[in-house]
Amino acid sequence: MSQQASKLVIITEKLLLKKIAKIIDEAGATGYTVVDAGGKGSRNVRSSGQPSVSDTNSNIKFEVLTPNRDMALKISDEVAAQFFEDYSGITYLCDVEVLYAHKF
């Protein structure tokens, strides 16, 4: 049984992890995945894995599956409005097909 859904991806600074998780929860998403991320963006090359004196230089990538596009947009608008003026970050949406979705 597969199900159509939207996947919102947010790549941003690790510092914001808790705050963004809260926004996602409040928007009503049932869950999310977070992984460490590194790479190159408009603000600089930022990498993960090397010893850094504090977490101010690490990035994370959120993946949130939402049952509809509106919820995903609501989350990304909130995140962009609150943080993207001062912190590095990018968000994008994909249409995905979720397999074996027990609850969603």
The contact set with other proteins (CB under 8 A) reads 13, 15, 49-57, 83, 85-87
Residue 100 region by backbone torsions, left for phi larger than 0, else alpha for psi between -120 and 50, else beta = left
Tokens 């992890």, residue?
Answer: 17
d(C-alpha 61, C-alpha 64), whole Å: 10
Nearer to other proteins, 26 or 55 (CB): 55
Q: List C-alpha distances in Å: 40 to 17, 23, 47, 54.
A: 19, 26, 8, 19
CB of 74 to other proteins, least distance (A): 21
Nearer to other proteins, 22 or 69 (CB): 22
CB of 87 to other proteins, least distance (A): 7
Helical packing angle, 17-27 and 69-83, nearest 10°:
150
CB of 85 to other proteins, least distance (A): 8
Nearer to other proteins, 13 or 91 (CB): 13
CB of 59 to other proteins, least distance (A): 13
